[in-house]
Every structure is written in structure tokens, then in C-alpha cells.
Chain A
């Protein structure tokens, strides 16, 4: 049992690097879907004697983060006929190197945070590295839709940290958070769709009209 959670957590880190290294937009979205699925299963593995809260959280996460949102984002790039490339502002190799630095930083930070509970040692570093890599994707990718992917990864990192408290946080709050993320990405997806129609490209680099 203890091996399975480590495998899951390491796979989450792997999906982070897939997003950083891939040139294709659809691979990016599939990697985040995979990440959502892994994170959905994780609470069941961490808390085998699962109560209603854990099961509800797990099902909700898989449905929203692994199925609906990726499907919606894939639909958006197909309908808006977005070009397939990711268009990073910094190179793929640099991105991967920065990702490695992020993981090292995450382990350094996590070493200094004494958690009260009995969590697997990998949980906090994985949460922190997903969070930092999410911010990295958010800031170094030109396309609006990749920024949505970055936001999802950031949110996934925070969710992973939240798993240290999964049995204590009430289900209503967990589901409320999930619903907000769902609607948030949905609204962002709609805006991405309009950006593409309006600017004939889905790059947020065109959004420079408003300034002082």
C-alpha cells in the first residue's frame, strides 16, 4: 500500500515534466487530465478506511479534473482551430531545467515545514513542485489556453497539500472549492474561445492594448 502512494506521487511529478517538455497543446491537456486522475485516486490510497468525505472528494475530483475540464479544453482548441504548438516564451530545455530547480526547491521548502499529521514524506514536496511548475507554465507560455493549464496545475498543487487535511475538511467545503475551480476554468475557456475569434490567435501576447 505504501508503495502505491509513492508511485502515484512520483507520477504526478512526471506529468508536470510532460507539460513542460511537450510541444503539442493536446499532449499538455492530456497530461493535466492524467494528473487530475492520479490526484483523484490518491485520497483513496492514502486513507484506505475511507469515509464518505474521502469517497465524495475522490469521485468529484476524477469527474471534474480528469474528465470534464480536459474534454472542454480539447473541445475549445478544436472548435477555435487553435494551432497545435505550445509557443513557449522560453525554450523547452530551459523550461525543463527550471522545472528541475522547482522540484529541488520544493524538497528544500518541505524539509523545513514540520507537519503535524502522519503523511507520506513525498506529499508536501510533490504539492509544492506542482504549484511552482504551475506558476512557471502560467508565466512562460504565450497561449491563453496554456495559461489555463498552468492555473489548473497550480490548483492541483494546492489540492495535493490539502490532502494532508482531507479527513478533517468538511465535504461541503471541498466540493465548493472543486465547483469554483470547475466554473473558473469553464469561464476562462469561454474567454479563450472569444480571444481566438477576435484576434485570430489564442496568444495572450496580443493583449497589450490596455496600459498606462
Chain B
């Protein structure tokens, strides 16, 4: 029941918020639905629910980790939206708020569904819910961004649908009697699945969901979309939407692991991971738009996620931990950049200086976000990247580890040169020194605290869930 409510509450919120309300009431609905969703997720940790709707919907440790990340990030972004919509109110914010809530509903469906077809339906729905959010400024550039996003994502996800049909064929061809495309049955019957069809299914699902995640070379929509979308929407996509798409890949890896196809799957994951790191490193050097810089940073972190999955062992634990860290850090950085753009009116880095002086809290958040997202200690991403690295070394891939270290170093230099330029130096004299709204600072501060805390201490409950998630993906806990 609670599992179904997790999808229905935001959906109902989306419908109600579309009514003719004043701005304060509409934001009230947004915050209310987000808080209720968060409360329901917390109750899942306290009392784990059984599967619902005939096993189609369930909360396993991996799903629960992703769901919690999405819910926390969404609540923070919703509170930021209150401050954001006061400054920049796109068309009354009516469609904006409804689409945000519709996204939360679709994302919950993706995370909770253990029927792979249903997961596909949810993932395509997230694409559609986000499209109007990207387009909210209704100008030429956002039009171009939303068109590229829609066409590339739709084609990618269509290929994933074909992969899904291949997966079903693998199950039917194996002559099994399990429920079609239900994760538990697929895993239980792993060795009986027809290997040729399963391999084809994996390739199509990896490419399809990889497009949605923004893995190189299917990442081309990402810089344009993140560059034009409001930063709040960018944070939602880079933190929550990509995590949902990654979950799609993780689900098929669960099946291929059970079927004993790890030898086929792992080199592909490592290849896409390293290529994403390489593309990110190449395009981050000499990038001068901060939002596009963050988009390439997202390509980098998606690469790290599949890389960790590919090296196996403790690397998988690192990946699941990295998923959480990356979501929090991306939210933090996008919101900090959002504040910079709200203050200066541009995201073109060479025109912005001295944010630390003119907007001290935002400046500090920006610098903290930079060190967090590039994996510097003491932030959580250092820990998770280090775990992935040690997974690579222990899994017998020393060259992969070396390449990863080198590319991460280049990425650090590329990001630091841009962001430190923006943070330090003399501020623009025309930019008045102002106190920033608490709505615009509370969210990113909370995310910064979270990503810092995860670097210092991982709570026992979380460690337990991460370890069980890693085991289900064929990995191990450190």
C-alpha cells in the first residue's frame, strides 16, 4: 500500500497543483507532496514492506537506496523552487510545479517496479515530464535544447524497448514458466535464459538506458540540455533522472550476473565508463560555460558508475555509494551555480568574478561543491571513487585504474580553473552586495552537509543496504 502511495501522492499533487491556485498555495502543494513522499520513504526504512501488485512493485535494498536519494534531493529542490520561482516566475509556475511532481511520480515508478516493462514505461514518462521544464523560458536556445533532448532520448529509450522485448524472448525461449519480465523470476531462472537473446538484450538496454544516463558517446544532448535548463531542473536531471536510468542498467546487470554472463558484460561496462571519462576530460578543458561544465561533470560521474559496476568486487559497492554521493553533490553544485546565475544573469564564466566577495555563502558553496564533485577528501565522493579504484586494482585491472586516475586529475584541473576563477578575484562593481534568500541557501547547505557527512561516516543502516545492493549486483562489500 505504501509503495503504491509513493507513486500516487506526487501524481495527485501534480494534478491538484495544476488548478487555479495562487503562487503560495501551489508551492504549498509542492512542498507538502515532497514532504509526504519523504516521510513515506523514511517509513520504508523503519518497516520494510512486502511486494505489492503481484510482485510487480517491491522495495529491495538497491531500489530503496535510489528512492531515498531521489526523495531527499527532490525535497531539497522543491524548497529551492520556492525561492527560485519568486525571482524568476516562468508563466505563473503552474506547469513547472506540476511537471516537477509528475517527474517524482514517474521516478518512483521506475525505482519501485520489478517488472521490467513497467520500469520502461516509468523511465519514458520521466523524459516527458522533464521536457516542459527544460523549455520553460520559451526562447530559441531552450527550444533547440528541448528538441535535441526529446529526439535523442526518445530514440535511445525506443532501442531500450527493443532490448526489453529481446529479454522477454530470452525468457520465453528458455522454456521457463516464470512471470514475464519480473525481476525476481528472471534472476531465479538466470541460467535457463537463452544466452544469445540475453546478450542482445543487454547491448540494446545498455545503449538505450545509457543514452538516458548520458554515457559517452550517447551524451550529446546533455551539455545543451543542462546548459539551457534552469539550474534547478539541471540538478534534478543530473542527480535523480540519471540515477533512475542507471538503475535500469543495474537491473539488467542483476539478470546477466545470475545468468553467468559477467565475462561478456563487464568489458562493455568498463569500455563505456572509460570512454565517458575521456570525453568529459577532453571537453572540460577550455570549457567556459559553467552549466555546460557541470554537464560534462555529469558525463564523468555516469562513466564512473558503470566503470565500478564493470570492475566488480568492492568496485560495485563503490558504485552504489557513488550513486548517492553524486546525486547529493550534483544537487549542491547545480543550486550553487543557480544562485550565481540568478545574481549575475549569465553562466558564461569569463564574465563572472569574485562571487566569494559579492555573495559569500553561495561562493563558499560553489568552492565546497567543486572539491566535493572532483572527489577530494573529506567529501563522500573521495571515499566512493577510492573504493571503485581499489575495486579495479583488486579485480586485476591495473591499467583501468591508472587511466581512471589520470583522467580524474585532468578533470580536476579543468573544473578547478573555471570555478576558482568565478569564485575568487574582484567582483563586478556593478553587482550590488545583497543578502541572499534563505530559501535559496538552505537546500544547498543541507546537501553540502550530507555529502560531507558521507565522507566522514557511513551510518550502519546505510552500509548494510549498500552491501546488500552490491551483493545483488555480483559485487562485495569492503
Contacts and interface: CB of A to CB of B under 8 A. Distances in A.
The yes or no verdict on A and B being binding partners is: yes
Contacts of B168: 165, 168-169
B140 A173 contact: no
A176 B121 contact: yes
A176 B128 CA distance: 13
A71 B465 CA distance: 50
Interface residues of B, number: 45
Contacts of B141: 209-210
Nearest to A155: B158
Contact of A198 (B118, B140, B180, B224): B140
Nearest to A186: B128
Interface of B is mostly: helix
Interface string B143-183: 11111101100110010011001001100110100001100
Contact of A212 (B146, B150, B181, B287): B287
Interface string B275-303: 00000000100010000100000000000
Contacts of B165: 158, 161-162, 164-165
B117 A195 contact: no
B223 A173 contact: no
B477 interface: no
A154 to B, nearest CB: 5
Contacts of A95: none
Interface string B174-216: 0100001100000000000010000000000000000000000
A199 B223 contact: no
A184 to B, nearest CB: 6
Interface in B398-419: none
Contacts of A154: 155, 158
Contacts, number: 116
A8 B474 CA distance: 46
Contacts of B283: 212
Contacts of B125: 180, 183
B150 A180 contact: no
A164 B128 contact: no
A184 B106 CA distance: 14
Contacts of B161: 155, 158, 162, 177
Contacts of A17: none
Nearest to B120: A177
Contacts of B162: 131, 158, 161
A170 B158 contact: no
A210 B158 contact: no
Given A151-B151, A158-B162, A210-B227, A170 B140 contact: no
A48 interface: no
B173 A198 contact: no
A191 B173 contact: no
Interface of A is mostly: helix
A160 B139 CA distance: 38
A138 interface: yes
Contacts of B385: none
B172 A158 contact: no
Interface in B119-148: 120-121, 124-125, 127-128, 131-132, 135, 138-141, 143-148
A194 B158 contact: no
B159 to A, nearest CB: 8
A46 B233 CA distance: 45
Given A187-B131, A209-B140, A210-B224, A180 B121 contact: yes
Interface in B460-478: none
A131 B147 CA distance: 21
A172 B145 CA distance: 32
B296 to A, nearest CB: 9
B115 interface: yes
Nearest to A157: B162
B161 to A, nearest CB: 5
Contact of A168 (B147, B180, B292): B180
Nearest to A131: B162
Contacts of B181: 169, 173
A55 to B, nearest CB: 19
A115 B173 CA distance: 7
A165 B169 contact: yes
A16 B147 CA distance: 24
A181 to B, nearest CB: 8
A1 interface: no
A23 interface: no
A56 to B, nearest CB: 15
Contact of B128 (A147, A184, A204, A210): A184
Interface string A193-212: 01100110000100111101
A188 interface: yes
A115 B169 contact: yes
A199 B147 CA distance: 13
A116 interface: yes
Contacts of A184: 124, 127-128, 150, 154
Nearest to A179: B121
B117 A176 contact: yes
A117 interface: yes
B144 A177 contact: no
A144 interface: yes
Contacts of B120: 177
A131 B228 CA distance: 31
B169 A164 contact: yes
Contacts of B147: 144, 191, 195, 204, 207
A115 B166 CA distance: 10
Contact of A210 (B138, B144, B155): B144
Interface centre among B127, B143, B173 (most CB of A within 10 A): B143
A210 B117 contact: no
Interface centre among B139, B155, B172, B283 (most CB of A within 10 A): B155
B219 to A, nearest CB: 12
Interface in B248-298: 283, 287, 292
Interface of B: 115, 117-118, 120-121, 124-125, 127-128, 131-132, 135, 138-141, 143-148, 150-151, 154-155, 158, 161-162, 165, 168-169, 172-173, 175, 180-181, 194, 223-224, 227-228, 283, 287, 292
5 contacts: A168-B168, A183-B125, A199-B140, A210-B224, A212-B223
Name the 6 nearest CB pairs between A and B, nearest first: A176-B121, A173-B117, A116-B173, A180-B124, A210-B224, A207-B144
